[in-house]
Structure 1
Amino acid sequence: MKKRITVLTGAGISAESGINTFRDAGGLWEGHDVMDVASPEGFARNPKLVLDFYNQRRRQLPEVLPNEAHKALFKLEEFYDVTIVTQNVDDLHERAGSTNLIHIHGELLKARSTKNENVIITWSKDLNLGDYCEKGHQLRPHIVWFGEAVPLLEQAAIATQNADIVIIIGTSMQVYPAASLIDYTQSGVPIYFIDPQPSVSENNYENLSIIAKTAVEGLPNLVTELTETAKRQ
Protein backbone atom coordinates (compact mmCIF):
# COMPACT_ATOMS: atom_id res chain seq x y z
CA MET A 1 0.00 0.00 0.00
CA LYS A 2 1.27 3.46 -0.90
CA LYS A 3 2.04 5.88 1.90
CA ARG A 4 -0.19 8.93 2.07
CA ILE A 5 1.15 12.41 1.50
CA THR A 6 -0.97 15.48 2.16
CA VAL A 7 0.33 18.68 0.59
CA LEU A 8 -0.86 22.08 1.80
CA THR A 9 -0.30 24.75 -0.86
CA GLY A 10 -0.80 28.50 -0.91
CA ALA A 11 -0.25 31.54 -3.07
CA GLY A 12 3.53 31.14 -3.21
CA ILE A 13 3.44 28.16 -5.55
CA SER A 14 1.14 29.97 -8.00
CA ALA A 15 3.13 33.20 -7.77
CA GLU A 16 6.03 31.47 -9.49
CA SER A 17 3.75 30.90 -12.48
CA GLY A 18 2.94 34.60 -12.63
CA ILE A 19 -0.31 34.71 -10.65
CA ASN A 20 -0.32 37.62 -8.23
CA THR A 21 -0.58 36.69 -4.58
CA PHE A 22 -3.75 37.40 -2.68
CA ARG A 23 -2.88 40.77 -1.23
CA ASP A 24 0.07 43.04 -0.63
CA ALA A 25 1.19 44.54 2.66
CA GLY A 26 -1.38 47.32 2.33
CA GLY A 27 -4.29 44.91 2.29
CA LEU A 28 -4.94 45.54 -1.39
CA TRP A 29 -5.59 42.98 -4.09
CA GLU A 30 -4.91 44.29 -7.59
CA GLY A 31 -5.56 47.82 -6.29
CA HIS A 32 -8.81 46.95 -4.51
CA ASP A 33 -9.46 46.75 -0.80
CA VAL A 34 -9.89 43.02 -0.19
CA MET A 35 -13.18 43.56 1.61
CA ASP A 36 -14.62 45.20 -1.50
CA VAL A 37 -13.90 42.18 -3.69
CA ALA A 38 -13.71 39.27 -1.26
CA SER A 39 -16.62 39.59 1.14
CA PRO A 40 -20.40 39.06 0.98
CA GLU A 41 -20.82 42.71 1.99
CA GLY A 42 -18.67 43.86 -0.92
CA PHE A 43 -20.71 41.76 -3.33
CA ALA A 44 -23.95 43.16 -1.93
CA ARG A 45 -22.68 46.73 -2.33
CA ASN A 46 -21.27 46.42 -5.82
CA PRO A 47 -21.82 43.04 -7.46
CA LYS A 48 -20.62 44.25 -10.87
CA LEU A 49 -17.24 45.31 -9.44
CA VAL A 50 -16.82 41.91 -7.81
CA LEU A 51 -17.85 39.97 -10.91
CA ASP A 52 -15.50 42.05 -13.09
CA PHE A 53 -12.66 41.48 -10.63
CA TYR A 54 -12.97 37.70 -10.82
CA ASN A 55 -13.54 37.83 -14.56
CA GLN A 56 -10.08 39.39 -14.88
CA ARG A 57 -8.57 36.66 -12.68
CA ARG A 58 -10.33 33.99 -14.74
CA ARG A 59 -9.15 35.48 -18.05
CA GLN A 60 -5.57 35.34 -16.79
CA LEU A 61 -5.59 31.58 -16.26
CA PRO A 62 -4.94 30.56 -19.90
CA GLU A 63 -1.95 32.93 -19.93
CA VAL A 64 -0.10 31.12 -17.12
CA LEU A 65 1.31 27.61 -16.96
CA PRO A 66 2.05 25.11 -14.20
CA ASN A 67 5.62 25.45 -12.98
CA GLU A 68 8.18 22.84 -11.96
CA ALA A 69 6.75 22.67 -8.43
CA HIS A 70 3.28 21.83 -9.70
CA LYS A 71 4.78 19.19 -11.99
CA ALA A 72 6.88 17.71 -9.18
CA LEU A 73 3.77 17.14 -7.07
CA PHE A 74 2.19 15.18 -9.90
CA LYS A 75 5.29 12.95 -10.09
CA LEU A 76 4.75 11.99 -6.45
CA GLU A 77 1.52 10.20 -7.41
CA GLU A 78 3.50 7.34 -8.98
CA PHE A 79 4.81 6.30 -5.57
CA TYR A 80 2.43 7.87 -3.03
CA ASP A 81 -1.26 8.42 -2.39
CA VAL A 82 -1.23 12.22 -2.71
CA THR A 83 -3.90 14.67 -1.59
CA ILE A 84 -3.35 18.37 -2.32
CA VAL A 85 -5.18 20.78 -0.04
CA THR A 86 -4.84 24.17 -1.71
CA GLN A 87 -5.83 27.67 -0.76
CA ASN A 88 -5.38 28.64 -4.42
CA VAL A 89 -8.40 29.18 -6.65
CA ASP A 90 -6.54 28.59 -9.94
CA ASP A 91 -6.36 25.29 -11.83
CA LEU A 92 -2.58 24.94 -12.11
CA HIS A 93 -2.40 21.78 -9.99
CA GLU A 94 -4.98 20.10 -12.20
CA ARG A 95 -3.21 21.19 -15.37
CA ALA A 96 0.04 19.74 -14.04
CA GLY A 97 -1.76 16.40 -13.74
CA SER A 98 -2.58 16.15 -10.03
CA THR A 99 -5.76 14.15 -9.52
CA ASN A 100 -6.83 14.48 -5.88
CA LEU A 101 -7.43 18.08 -4.84
CA ILE A 102 -9.34 19.90 -2.13
CA HIS A 103 -9.82 23.59 -2.98
CA ILE A 104 -10.68 24.98 0.43
CA HIS A 105 -11.09 28.57 -0.81
CA GLY A 106 -13.07 27.70 -3.94
CA GLU A 107 -12.29 27.69 -7.65
CA LEU A 108 -12.19 30.39 -10.30
CA LEU A 109 -13.53 27.99 -12.92
CA LYS A 110 -16.76 27.38 -11.04
CA ALA A 111 -19.77 29.53 -10.18
CA ARG A 112 -22.49 28.99 -7.64
CA SER A 113 -26.01 30.15 -6.91
CA THR A 114 -26.41 33.14 -4.60
CA LYS A 115 -29.44 31.38 -3.14
CA ASN A 116 -28.09 27.87 -2.65
CA GLU A 117 -24.36 27.43 -2.05
CA ASN A 118 -24.63 23.75 -2.99
CA VAL A 119 -25.63 24.58 -6.57
CA ILE A 120 -22.16 24.73 -8.14
CA ILE A 121 -21.47 24.66 -11.89
CA THR A 122 -18.40 24.71 -14.10
CA TRP A 123 -17.81 28.21 -15.47
CA SER A 124 -14.93 29.26 -17.72
CA LYS A 125 -16.20 32.47 -19.35
CA ASP A 126 -17.03 35.90 -17.91
CA LEU A 127 -19.67 35.89 -15.20
CA ASN A 128 -22.08 38.82 -15.44
CA LEU A 129 -25.16 40.24 -13.82
CA GLY A 130 -28.07 38.38 -15.37
CA ASP A 131 -26.30 35.00 -15.42
CA TYR A 132 -28.63 32.77 -13.45
CA CYS A 133 -28.73 29.22 -12.13
CA GLU A 134 -31.51 26.87 -13.26
CA LYS A 135 -33.72 28.16 -10.43
CA GLY A 136 -33.39 31.74 -11.66
CA HIS A 137 -30.97 33.04 -9.04
CA GLN A 138 -27.93 35.18 -9.82
CA LEU A 139 -24.66 33.27 -10.02
CA ARG A 140 -21.58 34.39 -8.08
CA PRO A 141 -17.93 33.25 -8.11
CA HIS A 142 -17.39 29.96 -6.31
CA ILE A 143 -14.93 31.60 -3.94
CA VAL A 144 -14.92 31.46 -0.14
CA TRP A 145 -14.96 35.09 0.94
CA PHE A 146 -14.06 36.65 4.27
CA GLY A 147 -16.71 35.91 6.84
CA GLU A 148 -17.97 32.80 5.06
CA ALA A 149 -17.72 29.22 6.21
CA VAL A 150 -15.07 26.96 4.64
CA PRO A 151 -17.16 23.93 3.61
CA LEU A 152 -14.24 21.65 2.75
CA LEU A 153 -12.20 22.41 5.88
CA GLU A 154 -13.25 19.21 7.64
CA GLN A 155 -12.33 17.14 4.59
CA ALA A 156 -8.94 18.88 4.50
CA ALA A 157 -8.41 18.25 8.22
CA ILE A 158 -9.13 14.53 7.77
CA ALA A 159 -6.65 14.35 4.88
CA THR A 160 -4.00 15.96 7.06
CA GLN A 161 -4.80 13.73 10.01
CA ASN A 162 -4.50 10.59 7.87
CA ALA A 163 -1.19 11.58 6.25
CA ASP A 164 2.07 9.68 6.68
CA ILE A 165 3.96 12.74 5.39
CA VAL A 166 2.87 16.42 5.26
CA ILE A 167 4.37 18.98 2.88
CA ILE A 168 3.60 22.70 3.20
CA ILE A 169 4.42 24.99 0.26
CA GLY A 170 3.94 28.65 -0.51
CA THR A 171 1.76 29.53 2.45
CA SER A 172 2.67 31.54 5.53
CA MET A 173 0.43 29.38 7.73
CA GLN A 174 -0.73 32.63 9.32
CA VAL A 175 -4.25 32.90 7.84
CA TYR A 176 -6.96 30.96 9.64
CA PRO A 177 -8.72 28.61 9.40
CA ALA A 178 -6.30 27.15 6.81
CA ALA A 179 -3.36 27.69 9.18
CA SER A 180 -4.95 25.32 11.69
CA LEU A 181 -4.57 22.33 9.37
CA ILE A 182 -0.98 21.63 10.41
CA ASP A 183 -2.24 20.96 13.92
CA TYR A 184 -4.11 17.89 12.66
CA THR A 185 -0.83 16.17 11.78
CA GLN A 186 -0.37 12.98 13.78
CA SER A 187 2.52 12.77 16.24
CA GLY A 188 5.70 11.49 14.61
CA VAL A 189 4.67 12.35 11.04
CA PRO A 190 7.41 14.19 9.09
CA ILE A 191 6.46 17.74 8.08
CA TYR A 192 8.36 19.56 5.32
CA PHE A 193 7.89 23.34 5.18
CA ILE A 194 9.10 24.93 1.93
CA ASP A 195 9.21 28.73 1.97
CA PRO A 196 11.97 31.27 1.23
CA GLN A 197 11.00 33.21 4.37
CA PRO A 198 9.63 30.56 6.72
CA SER A 199 7.27 31.85 9.38
CA VAL A 200 7.84 28.91 11.71
CA SER A 201 10.95 27.34 13.20
CA GLU A 202 11.89 23.72 13.64
CA ASN A 203 11.21 24.18 17.34
CA ASN A 204 7.52 24.86 16.69
CA TYR A 205 6.56 21.37 15.59
CA GLU A 206 7.81 17.84 16.11
CA ASN A 207 9.58 16.36 13.06
CA LEU A 208 9.50 19.66 11.15
CA SER A 209 12.10 20.17 8.41
CA ILE A 210 12.39 23.65 6.92
CA ILE A 211 13.53 24.13 3.33
CA ALA A 212 14.15 27.87 3.00
CA LYS A 213 13.67 28.02 -0.76
CA THR A 214 10.90 28.87 -3.20
CA ALA A 215 8.60 26.09 -4.35
CA VAL A 216 10.36 25.78 -7.71
CA GLU A 217 13.79 25.69 -6.05
CA GLY A 218 12.99 23.42 -3.14
CA LEU A 219 10.22 21.03 -4.10
CA PRO A 220 11.73 19.04 -7.01
CA ASN A 221 14.69 17.95 -4.85
CA LEU A 222 12.38 16.90 -2.03
CA VAL A 223 10.21 14.93 -4.46
CA THR A 224 13.31 13.16 -5.80
CA GLU A 225 14.33 12.30 -2.25
CA LEU A 226 10.87 10.96 -1.34
CA THR A 227 10.64 9.04 -4.60
CA GLU A 228 13.99 7.33 -3.98
CA THR A 229 12.87 6.45 -0.46
CA ALA A 230 9.67 4.88 -1.79
CA LYS A 231 11.60 2.83 -4.34
CA ARG A 232 13.74 1.33 -1.57
CA GLN A 233 10.76 0.33 0.55
Structure 2
Amino acid sequence: MTDAVGVPPRIVVLTGAGISAESGLRTFRDAGGLWEGARVEDVATPEGFARNPDAVLRFYDARRRAASAVSPNAAHRALARLEGALGDSILVVTQNVDDLHERAGTRNLIHMHGELRRARCTLCGTRNAWAADLLDRPACPACGARMLRPDVVWFGEVPYELDRIENAVVACDVFVSIGTSGAVYPAAGYVALAAAFGARTIELNLEPSDAAVPFDEARTGRATQIVPAWVDELLGRD
Protein backbone atom coordinates (compact mmCIF):
# COMPACT_ATOMS: atom_id res chain seq x y z
CA MET A 1 0.00 0.00 0.00
CA THR A 2 1.56 3.29 -1.14
CA ASP A 3 0.42 6.70 -2.27
CA ALA A 4 0.70 8.10 -5.78
CA VAL A 5 4.45 8.62 -5.44
CA GLY A 6 5.11 5.25 -3.87
CA VAL A 7 5.35 6.36 -0.22
CA PRO A 8 3.66 4.06 2.33
CA PRO A 9 1.15 5.70 4.69
CA ARG A 10 2.18 6.48 8.24
CA ILE A 11 0.09 4.21 10.44
CA VAL A 12 -0.33 4.21 14.21
CA VAL A 13 -2.01 1.14 15.68
CA LEU A 14 -3.28 1.27 19.25
CA THR A 15 -3.98 -2.13 20.81
CA GLY A 16 -5.74 -3.05 24.03
CA ALA A 17 -6.73 -6.08 26.07
CA GLY A 18 -9.11 -7.38 23.41
CA ILE A 19 -6.30 -8.45 21.12
CA SER A 20 -4.64 -10.56 23.83
CA ALA A 21 -7.89 -11.99 25.16
CA GLU A 22 -8.05 -14.32 22.17
CA SER A 23 -4.71 -15.79 23.20
CA GLY A 24 -6.26 -16.74 26.53
CA LEU A 25 -5.34 -13.74 28.68
CA ARG A 26 -8.13 -12.21 30.70
CA THR A 27 -9.09 -8.65 29.87
CA PHE A 28 -8.01 -5.71 31.99
CA ARG A 29 -11.00 -5.31 34.30
CA ASP A 30 -14.70 -6.05 34.47
CA ALA A 31 -17.66 -3.80 35.14
CA GLY A 32 -17.26 -4.29 38.87
CA GLY A 33 -13.81 -2.70 38.88
CA LEU A 34 -12.04 -6.01 39.36
CA TRP A 35 -8.75 -6.90 37.71
CA GLU A 36 -8.54 -10.68 37.37
CA GLY A 37 -10.56 -11.08 40.55
CA ALA A 38 -8.69 -8.45 42.57
CA ARG A 39 -9.69 -4.87 43.33
CA VAL A 40 -7.95 -2.40 41.07
CA GLU A 41 -7.16 -0.23 44.10
CA ASP A 42 -5.31 -3.12 45.72
CA VAL A 43 -3.13 -4.29 42.84
CA ALA A 44 -2.88 -1.43 40.34
CA THR A 45 -2.08 1.66 42.40
CA PRO A 46 1.03 2.88 44.25
CA GLU A 47 -1.09 3.05 47.40
CA GLY A 48 -2.04 -0.62 47.08
CA PHE A 49 1.61 -1.55 46.72
CA ALA A 50 2.52 0.51 49.80
CA ARG A 51 -0.21 -1.19 51.86
CA ASN A 52 0.53 -4.77 50.87
CA PRO A 53 3.58 -5.22 48.63
CA ASP A 54 3.55 -9.02 48.99
CA ALA A 55 0.02 -9.27 47.61
CA VAL A 56 0.89 -7.03 44.65
CA LEU A 57 4.11 -8.90 43.85
CA ARG A 58 2.31 -12.23 44.11
CA PHE A 59 -0.41 -10.96 41.77
CA TYR A 60 2.06 -9.83 39.08
CA ASP A 61 4.20 -12.94 39.41
CA ALA A 62 1.07 -14.95 38.60
CA ARG A 63 0.22 -12.69 35.66
CA ARG A 64 3.76 -13.00 34.30
CA ARG A 65 3.55 -16.78 34.39
CA ALA A 66 0.11 -16.70 32.75
CA ALA A 67 1.35 -14.49 29.91
CA SER A 68 4.33 -16.76 29.33
CA ALA A 69 2.01 -19.76 28.97
CA VAL A 70 0.06 -18.39 25.99
CA SER A 71 1.05 -17.66 22.39
CA PRO A 72 0.53 -14.79 19.95
CA ASN A 73 -2.61 -15.14 17.90
CA ALA A 74 -3.48 -14.39 14.28
CA ALA A 75 -4.10 -10.70 15.04
CA HIS A 76 -0.64 -10.25 16.59
CA ARG A 77 0.94 -12.06 13.66
CA ALA A 78 -0.98 -9.98 11.12
CA LEU A 79 0.35 -6.73 12.62
CA ALA A 80 3.88 -8.12 12.54
CA ARG A 81 3.34 -9.04 8.89
CA LEU A 82 2.17 -5.49 8.19
CA GLU A 83 5.30 -4.11 9.83
CA GLY A 84 7.36 -6.45 7.68
CA ALA A 85 5.79 -4.87 4.60
CA LEU A 86 5.76 -1.22 5.70
CA GLY A 87 8.81 -1.04 7.97
CA ASP A 88 9.13 2.10 10.07
CA SER A 89 5.97 3.58 8.55
CA ILE A 90 3.93 1.71 11.17
CA LEU A 91 4.11 2.12 14.94
CA VAL A 92 2.23 -0.18 17.30
CA VAL A 93 1.33 1.40 20.64
CA THR A 94 -0.02 -1.13 23.10
CA GLN A 95 -1.76 -0.68 26.41
CA ASN A 96 -1.04 -4.34 27.15
CA VAL A 97 1.75 -5.41 29.46
CA ASP A 98 2.25 -8.85 27.90
CA ASP A 99 4.93 -9.57 25.27
CA LEU A 100 2.71 -11.17 22.62
CA HIS A 101 3.41 -8.46 20.04
CA GLU A 102 7.16 -9.01 20.38
CA ARG A 103 6.83 -12.76 20.19
CA ALA A 104 4.77 -12.37 17.01
CA GLY A 105 7.61 -10.35 15.47
CA THR A 106 6.62 -6.69 15.96
CA ARG A 107 9.65 -4.50 16.65
CA ASN A 108 8.46 -0.89 16.22
CA LEU A 109 6.48 -1.00 19.45
CA ILE A 110 5.75 1.10 22.51
CA HIS A 111 4.41 -0.39 25.76
CA MET A 112 2.78 2.73 27.16
CA HIS A 113 1.70 0.93 30.35
CA GLY A 114 4.94 -0.95 30.93
CA GLU A 115 5.74 -4.64 30.70
CA LEU A 116 5.28 -7.71 32.86
CA ARG A 117 8.71 -8.97 31.83
CA ARG A 118 10.47 -5.93 33.23
CA ALA A 119 11.15 -4.79 36.79
CA ARG A 120 11.83 -1.31 38.15
CA CYS A 121 13.89 -0.53 41.23
CA THR A 122 12.00 1.72 43.63
CA LEU A 123 15.34 2.99 45.00
CA CYS A 124 17.44 3.84 41.94
CA GLY A 125 14.72 3.79 39.26
CA THR A 126 16.57 1.43 36.94
CA ARG A 127 14.35 -0.63 34.62
CA ASN A 128 15.55 -4.13 33.79
CA ALA A 129 14.36 -7.05 31.70
CA TRP A 130 12.93 -9.56 34.17
CA ALA A 131 11.41 -13.01 33.83
CA ALA A 132 11.62 -14.41 37.37
CA ASP A 133 9.32 -13.89 40.36
CA LEU A 134 9.63 -10.69 42.38
CA LEU A 135 8.03 -11.95 45.58
CA ASP A 136 11.37 -13.38 46.73
CA ARG A 137 12.79 -9.83 46.80
CA PRO A 138 15.68 -10.32 44.34
CA ALA A 139 18.42 -7.68 44.24
CA CYS A 140 18.41 -4.85 41.74
CA PRO A 141 21.13 -5.55 39.14
CA ALA A 142 22.12 -1.88 39.19
CA CYS A 143 22.27 -0.93 42.88
CA GLY A 144 21.77 -4.16 44.81
CA ALA A 145 18.71 -2.98 46.72
CA ARG A 146 15.98 -5.55 47.21
CA MET A 147 13.29 -3.08 46.24
CA LEU A 148 12.06 -4.21 42.84
CA ARG A 149 8.48 -3.76 41.66
CA PRO A 150 6.76 -4.65 38.38
CA ASP A 151 7.58 -2.18 35.63
CA VAL A 152 3.88 -1.65 35.05
CA VAL A 153 2.19 1.76 35.00
CA TRP A 154 -0.44 1.86 37.71
CA PHE A 155 -3.38 4.23 38.10
CA GLY A 156 -2.07 7.59 39.20
CA GLU A 157 1.24 7.11 37.35
CA VAL A 158 2.30 8.59 34.01
CA PRO A 159 2.40 6.23 31.01
CA TYR A 160 5.68 5.81 29.15
CA GLU A 161 6.81 7.67 26.01
CA LEU A 162 3.80 9.97 25.78
CA ASP A 163 5.66 12.58 23.72
CA ARG A 164 6.76 10.01 21.16
CA ILE A 165 3.25 8.57 20.95
CA GLU A 166 1.55 11.94 20.55
CA ASN A 167 4.04 13.04 17.89
CA ALA A 168 3.35 9.84 15.95
CA VAL A 169 -0.43 10.24 16.27
CA VAL A 170 -0.30 13.85 15.09
CA ALA A 171 1.82 12.87 12.06
CA CYS A 172 0.00 9.68 11.03
CA ASP A 173 -2.16 9.20 7.96
CA VAL A 174 -4.13 6.30 9.43
CA PHE A 175 -4.97 5.65 13.09
CA VAL A 176 -6.26 2.20 13.99
CA SER A 177 -7.67 1.13 17.38
CA ILE A 178 -7.82 -2.61 18.05
CA GLY A 179 -9.42 -4.33 21.02
CA THR A 180 -9.65 -1.38 23.37
CA SER A 181 -12.65 0.12 25.14
CA GLY A 182 -11.57 3.71 24.63
CA ALA A 183 -12.30 4.44 28.28
CA VAL A 184 -8.85 5.02 29.80
CA TYR A 185 -6.92 8.23 29.14
CA PRO A 186 -4.61 9.32 27.67
CA ALA A 187 -5.04 6.48 25.14
CA ALA A 188 -8.76 7.22 24.84
CA GLY A 189 -7.99 10.67 23.43
CA TYR A 190 -5.78 9.52 20.56
CA VAL A 191 -8.58 9.00 18.05
CA ALA A 192 -9.69 12.62 18.51
CA LEU A 193 -6.11 13.83 18.21
CA ALA A 194 -5.52 11.83 15.04
CA ALA A 195 -8.78 13.01 13.52
CA ALA A 196 -8.01 16.63 14.34
CA PHE A 197 -4.82 16.39 12.28
CA GLY A 198 -6.53 14.78 9.30
CA ALA A 199 -5.86 11.08 9.79
CA ARG A 200 -8.32 8.43 8.72
CA THR A 201 -9.50 6.61 11.86
CA ILE A 202 -10.48 2.96 12.01
CA GLU A 203 -11.77 0.81 14.86
CA LEU A 204 -11.39 -2.98 14.87
CA ASN A 205 -13.13 -4.27 17.95
CA LEU A 206 -15.39 -6.99 19.28
CA GLU A 207 -18.05 -4.34 19.74
CA PRO A 208 -18.09 -0.55 19.20
CA SER A 209 -16.27 1.40 21.88
CA ASP A 210 -17.48 4.51 23.71
CA ALA A 211 -15.00 6.81 21.96
CA ALA A 212 -15.92 10.47 22.30
CA VAL A 213 -15.14 11.05 18.61
CA PRO A 214 -16.68 8.59 16.10
CA PHE A 215 -14.26 6.60 13.94
CA ASP A 216 -14.39 7.03 10.18
CA GLU A 217 -14.75 3.27 9.87
CA ALA A 218 -15.65 0.60 12.42
CA ARG A 219 -15.49 -3.16 11.99
CA THR A 220 -16.72 -5.50 14.67
CA GLY A 221 -15.77 -9.11 15.29
CA ARG A 222 -13.05 -11.27 16.72
CA ALA A 223 -9.59 -9.73 16.44
CA THR A 224 -8.21 -12.96 15.03
CA GLN A 225 -10.57 -12.58 12.08
CA ILE A 226 -10.97 -8.87 11.40
CA VAL A 227 -7.35 -7.79 11.93
CA PRO A 228 -5.83 -10.27 9.43
CA ALA A 229 -8.61 -9.38 6.97
CA TRP A 230 -7.84 -5.66 7.31
CA VAL A 231 -4.10 -6.27 6.87
CA ASP A 232 -4.76 -8.39 3.77
CA GLU A 233 -6.86 -5.58 2.28
CA LEU A 234 -4.20 -3.02 3.08
CA LEU A 235 -1.52 -5.12 1.39
CA GLY A 236 -3.75 -5.87 -1.58
CA ARG A 237 -4.13 -9.58 -0.88
CA ASP A 238 -7.30 -11.60 -1.40
TM normalised by structure 1 equals 0.91
Instruction: Pick from 198, 201, 222 the counterpart of residue 188 of structure 1.
Output: 198
In structure 2, what is the equivalent of residue 175 of structure 1?
Answer: 184
Q: Distance in 2 between matches of 1:129 and 1:44?
A: 17
Q: Distance in 1 between matches of 2:49 and 2:176?
A: 34
Unmatched tracts of structure 2, length 5 or more: 1-6
Show structure 1 runs of 4+ deviating over 6 A. none
State the aligned residue count.
226
- Tell me by how many angstroms 1:24 deviates: 1.2
Instruction: Pick from 74, 79, 82 the counterpart of residue 76 of structure 1.
Output: 82
- Tell me by how many angstroms 1:216 deviates: 1.2
Alignment of 1:1-233 (within 5 A): 1-80=7-86, 81-117=89-125, 119-133=126-140, 134-137=142-145, 138-185=147-194, 187-200=197-210, 204-205=213-214, 208-228=216-236
- Per-residue CA deviation, residues 154-195 of structure 1 (Å, 9 max, x unaligned), is 221112112121111000111112111222215432111011
Higher mean C-alpha deviation, range 149-158 or range 11-20: 149-158
The amino acid that maps onto 2:41 is: M
Counterpart secondary structure, 1:223 = helix
Higher mean C-alpha deviation, range 2-11 or range 42-51: 2-11
- Does the 8 Å CA contact 1:48/1:129 hold for their aligned counterparts? no
Counterpart secondary structure, 2:85 = coil
- Does the 8 Å CA contact 1:9/1:88 hold for their aligned counterparts? yes
How well do the aligned residues superpose, as a CA RMSD in angstroms? 1.8
Q: Distance in 2 between matches of 1:200 and 1:27?
A: 17
The amino acid that maps onto 2:39 is: D
Q: Distance in 1 between matches of 2:161 and 2:14?
A: 13
Counterpart secondary structure, 1:225 = helix
Q: Distance in 2 between matches of 1:143 and 1:65?
A: 21
Q: Distance in 2 between matches of 1:129 and 1:180?
A: 39
Q: Distance in 2 between matches of 1:37 and 1:200?
A: 25
Change (3 A) 1:116 1:161: farther
- Tell me by how many angstroms 1:31 deviates: 1.7
**Identity across matched positions, percent:** 49
Q: Distance in 2 between matches of 1:107 and 1:183?
A: 26
Q: Distance in 1 between matches of 2:136 and 2:148?
A: 8
Counterpart secondary structure, 1:84 = strand
